[in-house]
Amino acid sequence: MNIGWDIKTDWFLDRQATRDLLDPVTFKAFKKVGQKVRAIAQASMRWAPGPAPVGQPPHAHSGMLRRFIYYAVEPATRSLVIGPALLGLARNPKTGQTYSVPEALEYGRFGVPEHSYMRRALGNAMQSKTIQRALADAGKTMPGMTGA
């Protein structure tokens, strides 16, 4: 999965251009989904020393990963994108390969154990009847939805 997107802040949901791009029902659904997934992802990252157990969301050591989760509309496809900002790259000392820390944590790449937090947050959000109803009203489907 390629998670290298280039979303501009122009397409955050608090911008008039985004409101103008989407119909009101889709706008409301995207806003609800974005808020819910972001809140679940942030809450899943506990403040604790040391690394989180493999397979669990990462610990929030500095709070940067937790603080910089955004959601915006990708205008070409009119789809919602939710995820952490690319705050910088890390380098694997053994291979010299550079990588995105959020990507490495989410998918367990580059020698970093998997600590999925965004996929888990999306799955949990999709269990909400409010989110399912909002997306169904907008004629949208997301992973984990049935029907619609």
- Residue range 17-72, pLDDT digits in tens: 999 999 999 999 999 999 999 999 999 999 999 889 988 999 888 888 889 999 99
Question: At residue 148, does pLDDT exceed 60?
Answer: no
Distance CA 13, CA 34 (A): 9
pLDDT of residue 37: 93
Confidence of residue 1 (pLDDT cuts 50, 70, 90): very low
Quote the pTM value: 0.82
Letter string b/e over residues 87-120, b meaning 16 or more CB atoms within 10 A of that residue's CB: eeeeeeeeeeeebbbbbbbbbeebebeebbbbeb
Alpha-carbon distance of 31 to 29, in angstroms, equals 5
For residue 66, give the DSSP letter.
Answer: H
Q: Which residues pair with 72 in a beta bridge?
A: 12, 81
Q: How far, CA to CA in Å, does 110 sit from each of 3, 12, 64, 97, 102? A: 15, 30, 20, 8, 11
**pLDDT, average across residues 75-79:** 86
For 103-142, write each residue's pLDDT tens digit.
888 888 888 889 889 989 988 998 999 888 888 888 876 5
| Residues 6+ away with beta carbon under 8 Å from 90 | 98, 99, 100, 101, 104
